[in-house]
């Protein structure tokens, strides 16, 4: 049977006073293409369904043309509550600043992550997408990130892009508070951490490594 991967994206776009965000296109497009090439069955879903906005700052004429074809999957995502998540072998959450606002509060995503964690499914996220994992707990009520080696977009990277003041919290600080072993490399490093069935990547440059790591665990 073909492996099934659930990609969960954000619906959030308007941060404050005209500052627009969404999903960082590279973090969606690169893994999508890699998963597709393996002949995996891919479903793209979001909390509300419908459009998952692309962060305009991630759109560039220098982006590979093959990314363009993936954008249509962000224009009409499935609604997360309609997904039979027990049928999936893995979940992947791309970043962008949008997930910081709608994914941590989503109870359905929390349930999905907890189910996948307890059933040894592959859980993966990159950059700010790691925020989608912070509300999930294990059977003892501890964060699934506790004692795991985890990375995400770092405080230093947030300062460099000058978005720190617009965030509801700093993701690195939150992950550390949950008891994880946060591993930070230099800003914009290609960096992935694999801890049990949880794969996390530091930034957009790590998206390919995350996707390849997912395939490796699934195989």
| Residue 216: exposure state from Cβ atoms within 10 A (0-12, 13-18, ≥19) | exposed
Residue 30, pLDDT score: 98
Domain ranges of the chain: 4-218
Residue 88, pLDDT score: 98
Q: In the β-sheet with 41-46, what is the strand arrangement from edge to edge?
A: 78-79, 41-46, 4-8, 90-93, 122-126, 198-201, 192-195
CA 20 to chain centre: 18
Asked if residue 185 lies in contact with residue 195, where contact means CB atoms within 8 angstroms, the answer is: no
The CATH number that domain 4-218 falls under is 3.40.50.880
Residue 19, pLDDT score: 81
Residue 17, pLDDT score: 63
Tens-level pLDDT at each residue, the chain (219 residues): 789 999 999 999 987 767 889 999 999 999 999 999 999 999 999 999 999 999 999 999 888 899 999 999 999 999 999 999 999 999 999 999 999 999 999 999 999 999 999 999 999 999 999 999 999 999 999 999 999 999 999 999 999 999 999 999 999 999 999 999 999 999 999 999 999 999 999 999 999 999 999 999 999
Asked if residue 153 lies in contact with residue 203, where contact means CB atoms within 8 angstroms, the answer is: yes
Q: In the chain, where do the E strands start and end?
A: 4-8, 14-16, 19-20, 41-46, 78-79, 90-93, 122-126, 149-150, 181-182, 192-195, 198-201
pLDDT digits (tens, 9 = 90+) for 123-135: 999 999 999 999 9
pLDDT digits (tens, 9 = 90+) for 137-183: 999 999 999 999 999 999 999 999 999 999 999 999 999 999 999 99
Which tokens hold the place of 187?
């800003």
Radius of gyration of the chain (CA): 16
Which tokens hold the place of 100?
């910081």
- Looking up tokens 């359905």, which residue turns up? 108
Residue 18, pLDDT score: 73
Query: How far is it, in rounded angstroms, from Cα 92 to Cα 72?
Result: 18
Query: How far is it, in rounded angstroms, from Cα 35 to Cα 55?
Result: 22
Give me the half-sphere count of Cα atoms (radius 13 Å) on the Cβ side of residue 128: 30
């Amino acid at each position: 049977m073909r492996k099934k991967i659930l990609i969960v994206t954000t619906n959030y776009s308007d941060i404050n006073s005209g500052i627009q965000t969404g999903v960082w296109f590279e973090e969606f497009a690169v893994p999508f293409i890699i998963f597709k090439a393996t002949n995996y069955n891919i479903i793209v879903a979001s909390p509300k369904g419908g459009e998952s906005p692309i962060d305009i700052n991630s759109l560039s004429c220098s982006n590979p043309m093959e990314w363009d074809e993936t954008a249509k999957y962000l224009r009409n995502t499935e609604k997360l509550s309609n997904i039979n998540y027990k049928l999936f072998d893995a979940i992947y959450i791309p970043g962008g600043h949008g997930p910081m606002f709608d994914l941590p509060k989503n109870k359905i995503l929390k349930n999905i992550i907890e189910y996948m964690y307890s059933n040894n499914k592959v859980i993966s996220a990159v950059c700010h997408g790691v925020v989608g994992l912070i509300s999930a707990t294990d059977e003892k009520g501890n964060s699934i990130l506790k004692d795991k080696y985890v990375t995400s977009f770092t405080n230093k990277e947030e300062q460099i892009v000058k978005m720190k003041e617009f965030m509801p919290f700093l993701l690195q600080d939150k992950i550390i508070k949950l008891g994880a072993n946060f591993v930070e490399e230099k800003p914009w490093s290609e960096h992935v951490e694999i801890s049990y069935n949880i794969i996390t990547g530091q930034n957009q440059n790590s998206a390919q490594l995350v996707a390849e790591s997912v395939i490796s665990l699934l195989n």
